[in-house]
């Protein structure tokens, strides 16, 4: 079954730009403060999970590079689905390692959950030129075709 949903083109752009901002800021923090960020991993209650992925300092650098590249791609609307997949793949281990298991970080934990929801929006919806059609150009509306499972 196919469902047509009309949404504002501008709302998708605003969501994309606002969602990318956190990754661009986080990437600069990771890349400019590698040692300090790695120390946060060492202080985390689930640091063993991070150690399974590799050397914390290397992981901080790689995640910073991934967030920078995918964050820019999401910002400019280039390959948004793949950018969101990459950002989600980076965010999940960060959330598990640093946020879960720490009572004083419940706010940031649920912030990350909300960000994951935004990323899932771009992963689950196809915004390619083939599926996005203008239904009412004066109001900048888009018609999205999404298949229900």
Helix/strand/coil for 136: strand
The first and second tokens of residue 65, run together, are 């590079």
CB 70 within 8 A of CB 86: yes
The domain tally of the chain equals: 1
Is the residue at 52 inside a domain?
Answer: yes
More confident residue, 128 or 98: 98
The first and second tokens of residue 82, run together, are 């793949």
Helix/strand/coil for 78: coil
- Please list, in sequence order, all residues whose beta carbon lies within 8 angstroms of the beta carbon of residue 97, skipping any fewer than 6 positions away: 41, 44, 46, 47, 49, 50
In the chain, what is the straight-line distance between the N-terminal and C-terminal CA atoms, in Å? 8
DSSP 98: I
**pTM: predicted TM-score of the whole model, two decimal places:** 0.81
The first and second tokens of residue 19, run together, are 């969602």
Is the residue at 22 inside a domain?
Answer: yes
Per the structure, the complete domain to which residue 84 belongs is given by: 2-143
pLDDT of res. 138: 44
Is the residue at 38 inside a domain?
Answer: yes
Is the residue at 148 inside a domain?
Answer: no
pLDDT of res. 128: 64
Is the residue at 134 inside a domain?
Answer: yes
Q: What is the pLDDT of residues 2-25, one digit of tens each?
A: 777 777 888 999 999 999 999 999
pLDDT of res. 102: 72
The first and second tokens of residue 93, run together, are 């281990």
Backbone φ, ψ for residue 2 (5° rounding):
-110, 135
- Please list, in sequence order, all residues whose beta carbon lies within 8 angstroms of the beta carbon of residue 119, skipping any fewer than 6 positions away: 19, 84, 85, 87, 88, 91
Mean pLDDT of the chain: 84
Is the residue at 149 inside a domain?
Answer: no
Is the residue at 128 inside a domain?
Answer: yes
Q: How far is CA 131 from CA 5, 96, 126, 147, in A?
A: 12, 35, 7, 11
Rounded to the nearest 5 percent, the helix, strand and coil shares of the chain are 70, 10, 15
């Amino acid at each position: 079954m196919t469902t047509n949903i009309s949404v504002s083109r501008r709302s998708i752009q605003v969501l994309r730009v606002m969602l990318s901002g956190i990754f661009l800021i986080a990437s600069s923090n990771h890349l400019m403060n590698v040692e300090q960020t790695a120390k946060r991993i060492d202080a985390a209650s689930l640091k063993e999970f991070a150690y399974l992925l590799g050397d914390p300092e290397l992981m901080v650098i790689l995640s910073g590079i991934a967030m920078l590249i995918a964050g820019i791609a999401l910002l400019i609307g280039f390959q948004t689905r793949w950018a969101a997949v990459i950002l989600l793949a980076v965010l999940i281990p960060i959330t598990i390692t640093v946020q879960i298991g720490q009572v004083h970080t419940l706010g940031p934990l649920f912030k990350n959950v909300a960000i994951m929801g935004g990323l899932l929006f771009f992963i689950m919806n196809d915004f390619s030129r083939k599926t996005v059609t203008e239904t009412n150009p004066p109001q900048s509306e888009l018609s999205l075709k999404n298949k229900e499972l």
